[in-house]
Structure 1
Amino acid sequence: MMLSPQLHKILAVAFFLLPFCAQGKPAGFFSKFSFKPFFGDRSNNGDELQIPDLPPLAGNEHGDAIQQLEHRISRLEGVLRLNKMITESGGKIFATNGKKANFDDTVEKCKEAGGSIAAPRSPGENDAILYFVKYFNTYAYLGIKQSLIPGRFQLLNGAQLSYTNWYPNEPSGKGEEECVEMYTDGTWNDKKCNKNLLIVCQF
């Protein structure tokens, strides 16, 4: 018995957000949701994170342990949704830790978490990313980069864009702006890759 792909995604999201949540009060983010850290408080010595209200895994059968783990992950998904830390569209889960980075570091952070930099392929996915961009009132990089042809853009895996949402008269960098950012209205702009923008990953 194996974990479903959806539960694998939630587990990856959890590890991506773990350092963010474990601080107890996540750097002022999500304060209007009266956020309490799902991952618990540090113990008195400050070394160990305690996960509240979760009974230990029990049972001798491997299948029983996996069922219990799936249940815990499902509960985690509910907490993350309730606290507006994840959005979902098109079978993808989108998440942010509220931090900023340049394009290359954003790609690396998302990869380390088991995901990839967010790259919308539909209006619904664009809206899922836009949620975070609006919430933090800042721009975010997308997983789209200029191809070998100046002014032409593609997904990072080289696939052509089947969906775009360019701001009027964009892209306009004439080959000098190789990355793509999302504005707070959901439209896109070509941009140099060295600015620090909001990290949004997809899983």
Structure 2
Amino acid sequence: MSLSVYDDVIGSEEMNRGDTVEMVEDIYESADAVRGHDPNTEMEDTSTMRILKTQQAGLKREVTYPDVYHYLAETECVYTREAVKARRYRLAAVGLGLLCVLLLTAITVLWIQFNHLTAERDHLQTSYTNLTAERDQLQTSNTNLTAERDQLQTSNPNLTAERDQLQTSYTKLTAQRDQLQTSYTKLTAERDQLQTRTTNLAAERDQLQTSYTKLTAQRDQLQTSYTNLAAERDQLQTSYTKLTAERDQLQTRTTKLTAERDQLQTRTTNLAAERDQLQTRTTNLAAERDQLQTRTTNLAAERDQLQTRTTNLAAERDQLQTRTTKLTAERDQLQAERDDLPRRFSELDKAVRDGWIYFSSSLYYISSEYKIWSESRNDCRKRGSDLVIINSREEQDFINTLRKGQLVWIGLSDGETEGVWKWVDGSELITGFWYPGQPNIKGDEDCVTNDISSDLVNNWNDYPCNRQLFWMCEKRI
């Protein structure tokens, strides 16, 4: 719009200047015609007047020249040198007046143009100030996001170091597990050699096999967790690389924007000459502002995503550390059991030679003579054990098979509180295998034995403790 107004003003100025020049040329031509006029020829005077009137009509203006007409009328009679000089002075005065009008017109046009340029300069200055303020706000936001990114970047190496440390611990535990596996294989071979001495050691081998299966499953689970953690680490590394590249790109564009700002500030000193260039750069600056705003939003979203992933990685690290702790505890327990296996095998071998029978991590001994309940317990204690405690249906079935239909004392009584049955280790009875109608709590029947009945499972019966019966001892190994 400012360019069109400027062209209109210049065009009108050139039109006025051309009309003025034509007017002056016509006047001088008329004066030359009068200067060559013959006073004796009236026809030529009339022709000259017609030429002047025709030239005045060709100007198409409402401008009259009474002095010129008056002078032409007087020249019909007087053609003295003074009259010619006076005519020239008048023509010069007319030219001077026209020049004054032209100068006034030019000053008016220049004043209008100056006001228009000043308004445009103020408008551009306001736009530049607003864009500078927005640029400073975006630069502040960019600085804050860069600081948050640096914090997340600092947290990321720490988590990576912890993950590597856990990985190293996991590798060591795996090596130790393999060593334990090798030792376990050797012990399995030794157990197979001892199996010729007792058929009950096969059950323990099956139990150890079950433990090995569980350990293998836990190892596979840890391997899966490690694979998932490695994949998430690679994903986090990729996101970090992209974020670094976008940060560098944003830094480069910020530097360019600063350079353009300085260049724009220098060029604003010559507003009229660089108005079009400044307006173009203002448009480019607005576009770059929108682009910077969009990238700032994207950077904030990526920052939130990176922070979420960092939180997830920390949670998984804690979970892996917990699993590592459990695995370490199981390893220590297994290692302790392995170290204790020679002693246990030695005791087991000696016990088997002494008449003990192995079942489910315990040794059982059945007497070959009769004693009351208290003496039976004393005999078990001398042997490093106590009267048998039955905790499961499998153990009940085993004892029924071992006693071969004989009545034997077990380690259950209500001697302390009538009706409250407790085992010899002080624990209360939870699951019992009583014969139907038992215990009947008659008299001093405070001790329990396996009775002779058709039911091979539910055959417990309360007896007087002073009855002499066989007894069964139990020793845990």
For the criterion TM > 0.5, the same-fold answer is yes
**Deviation at residue 169 of structure 1 after TM alignment:** 1.4
Write the letter of the residue equivalent to 1:196.
Answer: Q
SS in structure 1 of the partner of residue 433 of structure 2: coil
Superposed counterparts of 1:89-128, under 5 Å: 89=360, 91-128=361-398
- Paired position in structure 2 for 1:171: 439
Query: Do 1:154 and 1:161's aligned partners in 2 also have CA atoms closer than 8 Å?
Result: yes
User: CA offsets, 1:54-100, max 9 Å, x none?
Assistant: xxxxxxxxxxxxxxxxxxxxxxxxxxxxxxx62513x2221224322
Q: Which residue, 88, 97, 106 being the options, matches 2:359?
A: 88
**Deviation at residue 131 of structure 1 after TM alignment:** 1.5
Distance in 1 (CA, whole Å) between partners of 2:432 and 2:344 is 26
Superposed counterparts of 1:151-170, under 5 Å: 151-170=419-438
Are 2:345 and 1:7 aligned? yes
Distance in 2 (CA, whole Å) between partners of 1:152 and 1:9 is 35
Structure number with greater Rg is 2
Write the letter of the residue equivalent to 2:419.
Answer: G
Query: Do 2:387 and 2:424's aligned partners in 1 also have CA atoms closer than 8 Å?
Result: no
Q: TM-score, normalised by structure 1?
A: 0.57
> Structure 1 199/149 Cα, relative in aligned 2: closer, same or farther at 3 Å?
closer
SS in structure 1 of the partner of residue 439 of structure 2: coil
Q: Which residue, 106, 131, 135 being the options, matches 2:401?
A: 131
Distance in 2 (CA, whole Å) between partners of 1:87 and 1:131 is 13
Distance in 2 (CA, whole Å) between partners of 1:140 and 1:96 is 8
The structure with the largest helix share of the pair is: 2
User: CA offsets, 1:113-138, max 9 Å, x none?
Assistant: 111111111111111211122x2x32
Distance in 1 (CA, whole Å) between partners of 2:427 and 2:420 is 12
Distance in 1 (CA, whole Å) between partners of 2:350 and 2:447 is 26
> Structure 1 139/9 Cα, relative in aligned 2: closer, same or farther at 3 Å?
farther
Please say which of residues 173-182 and 138-147 is displaced more in the overlay: 173-182
> Structure 1 144/3 Cα, relative in aligned 2: closer, same or farther at 3 Å?
same
Cα RMSD for the two superposed structures: 2.4
Write the letter of the residue equivalent to 1:132.
Answer: L
> Structure 1 7/153 Cα, relative in aligned 2: closer, same or farther at 3 Å?
same
> Structure 1 149/199 Cα, relative in aligned 2: closer, same or farther at 3 Å?
closer
Write the letter of the residue equivalent to 2:471.
Answer: I
Distance in 1 (CA, whole Å) between partners of 2:416 and 2:359 is 32
Distance in 1 (CA, whole Å) between partners of 2:351 and 2:393 is 22
Write the letter of the residue equivalent to 2:384.
Answer: G
Distance in 2 (CA, whole Å) between partners of 1:164 and 1:14 is 29
Query: Do 2:386 and 2:424's aligned partners in 1 also have CA atoms closer than 8 Å?
Result: no
Q: Which runs of 5+ in 2 are unaligned?
A: 1-338
Distance in 2 (CA, whole Å) between partners of 1:149 and 1:140 is 23
**Deviation at residue 188 of structure 1 after TM alignment:** 0.4
Write the letter of the residue equivalent to 2:373.
Answer: F
Write the letter of the residue equivalent to 1:150.
Answer: E
Write the letter of the residue equivalent to 1:192.
Answer: P
SS in structure 1 of the partner of residue 462 of structure 2: strand
- Paired position in structure 2 for 1:201: 473
Distance in 2 (CA, whole Å) between partners of 1:162 and 1:8 is 34
SS in structure 2 of the partner of residue 176 of structure 1: coil
Query: Do 1:150 and 1:174's aligned partners in 2 also have CA atoms closer than 8 Å?
Result: no
Distance in 2 (CA, whole Å) between partners of 1:181 and 1:10 is 27
Higher relative contact order (CA 8 A, sep 6+): 1
Distance in 2 (CA, whole Å) between partners of 1:110 and 1:12 is 16
**Deviation at residue 11 of structure 1 after TM alignment:** 5.1
Query: Do 2:389 and 2:411's aligned partners in 1 also have CA atoms closer than 8 Å?
Result: yes
Distance in 1 (CA, whole Å) between partners of 2:365 and 2:445 is 26
> Structure 1 105/13 Cα, relative in aligned 2: closer, same or farther at 3 Å?
farther
SS in structure 1 of the partner of residue 351 of structure 2: helix
Distance in 2 (CA, whole Å) between partners of 1:12 and 1:161 is 32
> Structure 1 110/173 Cα, relative in aligned 2: closer, same or farther at 3 Å?
same
SS in structure 1 of the partner of residue 410 of structure 2: strand
Write the letter of the residue equivalent to 1:10.
Answer: L
> Structure 1 126/8 Cα, relative in aligned 2: closer, same or farther at 3 Å?
farther
> Structure 1 104/3 Cα, relative in aligned 2: closer, same or farther at 3 Å?
same
**Deviation at residue 160 of structure 1 after TM alignment:** 1.0
User: CA offsets, 1:172-193, max 9 Å, x none?
Assistant: 1246211001123341011101
